[in-house]
Structure 1
Amino acid sequence: MMNNLFSVFDPTSNLLNIQLNWISMAIIIMFLYYNYWLMNSRFLKIINIMMITFIKEMGDNIKSKVILILFFMMIMFIFINNFMGLFPYIFTSTSHILITLSLALLLWISYYIYGWIMKTFMMLAHLVPIGTPLLLMPFMVLIETISNIIRPITLSVRLMANMTAGHLLISLMSGTCQNLNMFSSVVVVLLQMMLMILELAVAIIQSYVFTTLVLLYYNEMN
């Protein structure tokens, strides 16, 4: 039972044992923005409105406005992958630790290599909060160092766990329908519809939380 349940999140498809489920990520790259320079559409207008809103909200928290395009594309990439996972027979790539940990590690390593090489004194200053007693400074340095090291783990596991939990609950509820009567099955289906709305909200919130935390980590170097 548990093997069949968690096999829903296995990225290996049954066609010639080829990992075709990862194509959901390539579809975004190949077909989503292909007409950006050719024609205007309502979808592109929505993207522009979202970009302007994101820049207005996050622009006050960052000095360099050029880097905002990176964070905007990150939030769009995570949200679209989360959203596509709500469709039947489409693998949710952000529910796999391979994707979330790779994304978090890439950003974390880039930030800290740049920070420790270019702004060493500022990175050292972040290890000791202002007003820390002299006797507690070694312990604060140790605690801050551990918290900095586990940041990519917490980022990746948070996103993966939130995207996996809802899908698991919906899968469990679907498995119980075959043993229920018609009225109970209708109730379960209605509950699943409400869960799908909740999952859509989770897809938006988790992409925003991931991007905001990465942006806060970036601000520590400036």
Structure 2
Amino acid sequence: MMTNLFSTFEPMSSVLNLPTNWLSTFIGIVLIPSMFWLIPTRYSIVWTKINNTLHNEFKTLLGNNSVNNGSTFIFISVFSLIVFNNFMGLFPYIFTSSSHMVFTLSLALPLWLSFMIYGWTNHTQHMLAHLVPQGTPPVLMPFMVCIETISNMIRPGTLAVRLAANMIAGHLLLTLMGNTGPQLTYSIMTILITAQVALLVLESAVAMIQSYVFAVLSTLYSSEVN
């Protein structure tokens, strides 16, 4: 019960003898965006430039259709997730999730299904026109429909297999080269270590390239349904 009118302004409530009334001061600081009171690091600047570059490129691939506004952030998120898992797999004793079909197919199949459901629901005539390329002779139209349908159906599989196979190949080669180390002499061991370092640099490039390829192909598949 308040003893007077001004007692409501006293820091009476506490947890473990710490006044909780003062927490509002610190909560206000947390709510302020970090860009106003933190200097951006080189890492954040580089990552922001990469995201801006990808956003501009994906926006060009998707076109100026108003339906696609904001779609670039989906593909940037997919790229970020894949490139993070690819690079994490280069460290020893870390499970490379992007080298397994469970991970890659879980990304590719929902994206492809969403494109197909949206396209066939809202742009049925446009999707049917894609099955027969322009200038196809009437005799070849049934065969072209079959070929285009099959090529469309295997798209999620090719996306998933491409990413998983490229990640498995490099890691497998690194493992096979590393297992031959105990049987080698010191002179050959130097050559082996140099080769493994060069292969690790190549794998770093592959990790980024495959993430980019996955995101770009997903963007192209999305642009075809509009």
TM-score (norm 2): 0.80
- Matched with 1:152 is 156
For 1:143-195, what per-residue CA distance to the aligned partner results, in whole angstroms no more than 9, with x for missing partners?
Answer: 00000111111110000000000000000000111111111111111100000
1:124 aligned partner, one-letter code: L
> How far did 1:65 drift?
3.6
Look up the SS of the partner of 1:129 in the other structure: coil
State how many pairs are aligned: 186
The sequence identity of aligned pairs, in percent, is 51
Instruction: Quote the offset at 1:132 in angstroms.
Output: 0.4
1:91 to 90, 95, 99: 95
**3-state SS, counterpart of residue 180 of structure 2:** helix
Name 2:3's counterpart in structure 1.
Answer: none
Give structure 1 regions of 4+ aligned residues with deviation exceeding 6 angstroms: none
Tell me the equivalent position of 2:116. 112
Structure 1 distance, partners of 2:58, 2:106, is: 24
Distance, in Å, in 1 between the alignment partners of 2:111 and 2:187 is 50
Q: 1:100 aligns with which of 98, 101, 104?
A: 104
Structural RMSD (CA): 1.1
Whole-Å Cα distance in 2 between the matches of residues 191 and 41 of structure 1? 33
Structure 1 portions without partners, runs of 5+: 1-36
Distance (Å, rounded) in 2 between the aligned partners of 1:113 and 1:122? 13
By how many angstroms is 1:57 displaced?
2.1
Match of 1:200 among 166, 189, 204: 204
In structure 1, the residue matched to 2:129 is 125
For 1:176 and 1:46, the matched residues in 2 are separated by 38
Aligned AA (2:177) = M
2:141 — aligned with what? 137
Q: How many Å separate the matches in 2 of 1:51 and 1:183?
A: 44
Q: What is the alpha-carbon distance in structure 1 between the residues aligned to residue 57 and residue 151 of structure 2?
A: 27
Q: Deviations over 1:5-63 (max 9, x none)?
A: xxxxxxxxxxxxxxxxxxxxxxxxxxxxxxxx534432222221111111222221213
Partner of 1:212: 216
Structure-1 residue corresponding to 2:54: 54
> Which amino acid is the alignment partner of residue 141 of structure 2?
M
CA distance in 2, matches of 1:107, 1:61: 16
Q: Distance in 2 between matches of 1:102 and 1:52?
A: 26
* 1:85-107 superposed Cα distances (whole Å, 9 cap, x missing partner): 11111111100110001111010
Letter in 1 for 2:59: G
Q: Distance between the aligned counterparts of 1:46 and 1:65, measured in 2?
A: 24
Task: Tell me, in whole angstroms, the C-alpha distance in 1 between the residues paired with 2:43 and 2:151.
Answer: 40
Structure 2 segments unaligned to the other structure (5+ residues)? 1-32
Structure 2: distance between partners of 1:181 and 1:61: 53
Residue in 2 aligned with 1:190?
194
Please identify the structure whose Cα radius of gyration is greater.
Answer: 2
